[in-house]
Structure 1
């Protein structure tokens, strides 16, 4: 049977790409041998232009050409399904979807699927994300479609999170980022929020171990990894069933 692979479009940033890969390979896949792991191909290009800059300033270089080049590279490498290891990049999903023959899983859809299991409709859900991701609005839209109430930090609190915690993680200074993530979580907790989406792929790397345990944390990267695994298993099961039917049909001839 031909190998079916999940394609990861990454490099935005590299540590977030590694985190997604680790969650697919280590945290969420129960495998006893090499052969039981899920085939994954990653395209990690850290030279993709800054998504935030392009979103807020049309005169800045667009990330689209290099993201599309990454999709084409994944197509050539045998990927059958795409996940993108960057929340803000999902702003361009409509264009990226038109640029590839492969289906792309939207990270906010993966998050809402997990939320529907872990929280009731009507729940207020805090979103920890960059200004660019929040500006795009795709989390707010999908949360409301599923009956949840999105809640954000103030613009100043978001800017502090972005310019401190997220910037530190991108530089590899994860321990230094933790206090700023703690402050952001505490700010949401003070608003009465009990469910928080870590909606920047850098944030799960820096979530402090001593933050409030009364809150439910939804790791968007983990949700994306789990949805990718579910797709792979469903696809493999379908192909196996089709093969068995074909074999049985040939046996009756």
Structure 2
């Protein structure tokens, strides 16, 4: 796993965090900031990237770095991953990707990850600057999103040149600019909401009420609500969308996020339960929990989780299906 905090072209120099490389005979750490990509290390690389240089988590993957000037990933259908608002959410997506792709006892799929703390802060600032107007359209408080789009595009190009055969963004907010970021991309660029819509379509759900349309709830933050891509993608598959109304956003969703920011986990969890119940009471079959902040608030045994859909899981499954269908990964 590579944490690319800045990009230098041509793709020969990377600004790295702390790297832990495990081989059958030795294990060593490298805590350098600038590192020239010169040779091919073993295929099990662990990079726990944060600004403090501490190891937040250890995750094995098959991220391959090639010789200077060549693509980093040189075998199979490698996945290029652009990190988003939360490093923790990105790591959880990676764990899901590794676990699902290797659950049959085989090797996990190769991947290259760009996780930029500066971009994460910009995404978080954008998300917190948005509010919902009376028309349910999110507006930004004089925040220019062009630097975010430029950064996302640079990382996309970097991943293409790194040898990635498809690209994903495990981040809801980043998908607000999916069209601009994916424009001109030379490899498939999976859309998280399309992955969710496809899985729901294939599930062949039945309406809760006879003769009624199939309703899917979507619980989102202001920024994602305003972008509207979940509504568009799900409606394209024939679903009726149930979104939080203004009162639900103001009295449950936004306070839940504020409680989460205060580390009031119990308060945030209770508010999330109320928001989910409101959507389910409006005859929604399931609720897409499209919030990077709130997706892990509910305990694993909470009955409400059975009614929730995690877009990150859908993206991971779709990514693995793409790799398998491409026929290049063994």
Q: TM-score, structure 1 length as denominator?
A: 0.81
Conserved in 2, the CA contact under 8 Å of 1:111 and 1:223?
A: yes
2:143 aligns with: 60
Count of aligned pairs between the two proteins:
237
Q: In terms of mean alpha carbon deviation, does 9-18 or 104-113 score higher?
A: 9-18
Distance 1:26 1:73 in 2: 26
What is the match of residue 9 of structure 1?
A: 82
The residue that corresponds to 1:25 in the other structure is 98
The 1:68–1:231 alpha-carbon spacing in structure 2 relative to 1, beyond 3 Å, is same
8 Å CA contact 2:81, 2:111 repeated in 1 = yes
Taking the aligned partners of 1:188 and 1:172, their CA distance within structure 2 comes to 25
| SS of equivalent residue, structure 2 residue 296 | helix
Pairing of 1:224-235 with structure 2 (within 5 A): 224-235=315-326
Give the deviation of 1:149 after TM superposition.
0.6
Q: Is the 8 A contact 1:7 1:81 kept in 2?
A: yes
The 3-state SS of whatever aligns with 1:198 is: strand
Task: Write the distance in 2 (CA, Å) between the matches of 1:154 and 1:176.
Answer: 21
Q: Which has the higher helix share?
A: 1
Q: Distance in 2 between matches of 1:37 and 1:120?
A: 35
In structure 1, what is the equivalent of residue 194 of structure 2? 109
For residue 227 of structure 2, what is the aligned residue in structure 1? Answer: 136
**Structure 1 residue runs without a partner (length 5+):** 242-253
Cα gap change, 1:240 to 1:103, in 2 (>3 Å)? closer
Give the Cα–Cα distance (whole angstroms) in 2 for the partners of residues 240 and 46 of structure 1: 31
Instruction: Confirm or deny: 8 A CA contact 2:76 2:329 kept in the other structure.
Output: no
- Aligned pairs for 1:214-229 (under 5 A) are 216-229=307-320
- 1:39 alignment partner in structure 2: 110
Q: Which residue of 2 aligns with 1:74?
A: 159
Q: State whether structure 2 residue 284 is matched by structure 1 residue 193.
A: yes
| Aligned counterparts of 1:28 and 1:172: Cα–Cα separation in 2 | 33
- Secondary structure in structure 2 of the residue aligned to 1:203: coil
Structure 2: tracts of 5 or more residues without a match:
1-73, 131-137, 208-212
RMSD: 2.8
**Greater RCO (CA < 8 Å, at least 6 residues apart):** 1
1:85-234 correspondence to structure 2 within 5 Å:
85-98=170-183, 100-118=185-203, 119-120=205-206, 122-166=213-257, 177-209=268-300, 211-212=302-303, 216-234=307-325
Deviates more, 1:219-228 or 1:20-29: 20-29
- Structure 1 pair 240–111 and aligned structure 2 pair: CA distance change class (3 A): closer
Sort the Cα spacing of 1:75 and 1:176 in 2 relative to 1 into closer, same or farther, 3 A: farther
Partner Cα distance (2:228, 2:284) in 1: 19
Deviations, residues 27-76 of structure 1 (Å, cap 9, x unaligned): 5641436xx11112111113222343477237313211211122123223
How far 1:174 sits from its partner (Å)? 5.5
Mean Cα displacement is larger for which, 17-26 or 159-168? Answer: 159-168
Q: Deviations over 1:3-36 (max 9, x none)?
A: 3211111132212211211211125641436xx1
Cα distance change, pair 91–20 in 1 and its aligned pair in 2 (3 A): same
